[in-house]
Structure 1
């Protein structure tokens, strides 16, 4: 039992829901999963704290993050909560046979290393039982890419499921799986080993520098892209080749040549 998390060690569970109404069906489902998990952990002597991340109020902030590539304080706080949590419960509504755009946009902002080996329960709600496979077909591959550890039992609730005992049984099973993972400490151990094995990122001053641009290169490139063909550094070569009966360079080759002349790189440093 030495590999198990001591019963006295408290854990934190982050609940992420993409519902936009109050209350929303994803939030109601996520809350039921969270409460059952807390009860299961308490029965085994482990204290759990639940912290919620509602994506509805963050919709504008998430859209700005997608457009700008920068996280504002509200979204950054949500990411920090995710990073500090020991486990995650993620719930989304199903729209047009797919997860909501709000949920996917938030997931697109998550750093690839943020959820490594973090146990997660996947859940969704929808207006028809026909969408029940969305959780396993869309959410599971998404969090597998992020290297989280989805629980074996995924949850989906259609309108007719809310009063069913079967939904309660599935929630209890998923809660039990998450509780076992949390008490084992396996996810934390995997994450720690990943941090040790991951190569350290070089500081900016130690990274491979770009090739220096020739004087005036940036201005020349802007003129060329704006349609000023006299600024094409390859123009002379192309015209000479045509005069000698050779075929002119293709547009793609010309653009590649422009980058070479200006000393630009297409690959990141």
Structure 2
């Protein structure tokens, strides 16, 4: 399986990239995925040019292809003016112009970094609605890391829980979808009025989420 991490951090070193790497490591440890990181800082000029000439440059096009082909995404942005960064939004705007269904049905883990815990609601007020609009399947747990969270109790638990949810969704979907994104037919199964080979198992999304919640 392929996991793509989109990081919108601007500084070097970047707390946004640090959070992205920790989320990726926790997810890959569960799902056995190949991980590719897309640093938006390196694509800023090509992203801007896409809005003026209508075509992505070579590196940006490669990033778009990686995102579209991924089995799961981790997206991390720094908080600016109580929302995601302009660079982060511009990347996904340009992606949706190129392929409006690039994220349709794709599991996405949302995360953000900021200087204060007061901005933690950016996950629910900005990122989750954005990716719902892009038709992605956003995992229940988002991860926000304020300056005081690094090295404190609680962040590791949120990272592990979110990574577990993403890994479970990736594994479940990859087991039921072909490379073309269509349901895999189960051989030697009969359904009412349908010949063998035309049936496949459908697990409601609510049941899969319920299986991720701790008992009690």
Normalising by structure 1, we get a TM-score of 0.64
Give distance in 2, aligned partners of 1:78 and 1:87: 14
**Of 64-73 and 29-38, the range deviating more from structure 2:** 64-73
1:118–1:187 contact (8 Å) kept in structure 2: no
Give the distance between the partners of 2:15 and 2:176, measured in 1 at CA.
Answer: 31
Are 1:27 and 2:17 counterparts?
Answer: yes
Aligned-pair distance for 1:185?
A: 1.7
- CA deviations on 1:71-107 (whole Å, 9 max, x unpaired) are 1111101001111111000000001111100001101
- 1:145 corresponding residue in structure 2: 133
| Cα separation, 1, equivalents of 2:175 and 2:12 | 33
Distance apart, 1:187 and its partner CA: 9.0
Aligned to 2:181: 192
CA RMSD in angstroms comes to 1.8
SS of corresponding position for 1:165: coil
Q: Find out whether 1:181 has 2:166 as its counterpart.
A: no
Unaligned runs of 5+ in 1: 1-10, 42-46, 195-269
Tell me if the contact between 1:116 and 1:146 (Cα under 8 Å) persists in the aligned partners: yes
Q: For residues 117-166 of structure 1, give each alpha carbon's deviation from its aligned partner in whole angstroms, at most 9, with x where no partner exists.
A: 11110000011111101111111111111111110000100000011220
Residue 192 of structure 1 and its aligned partner are, at CA, apart by 2.9
Q: What is the distance in 2 between the residues matched to 1:59 and 1:187?
A: 36
**Matched residue, 1:40:** 30
Distance 1:188 1:96, change over 3 A: farther
**1:14 match: secondary structure:** strand
Aligned length: 179
State the distance in 1 between where 2:19 and 2:116 align: 16
SS class of match (2:177): helix
Closer/same/farther in 2, CA of residues 138 and 188 from structure 1, 3 Å limit: farther
Structure label with greater radius of gyration: 1
Could you state the TM-score of these two structures normalised by the residue count of structure 2?
Answer: 0.79
- SS state of the match for residue 21, structure 2? helix
Alpha-carbon distance between aligned partners in 2 of 1:187 and 1:144, rounded to the nearest angstrom: 23
Match of 1:44 in 2: none
Q: 1:78: which partner in 2?
A: 63
Counterpart of 1:159 (choices 135, 147, 159) is 147
- Residue matched to 2:79: 94
Q: Which stretches in structure 2 are left out of the alignment for 5+ residues?
A: 184-216
- Which runs of at least 4 in structure 1 moved beyond 2 Å after TM superposition? 186-194
Contact 1:124/1:135 (CA < 8 Å) preserved in 2?
yes
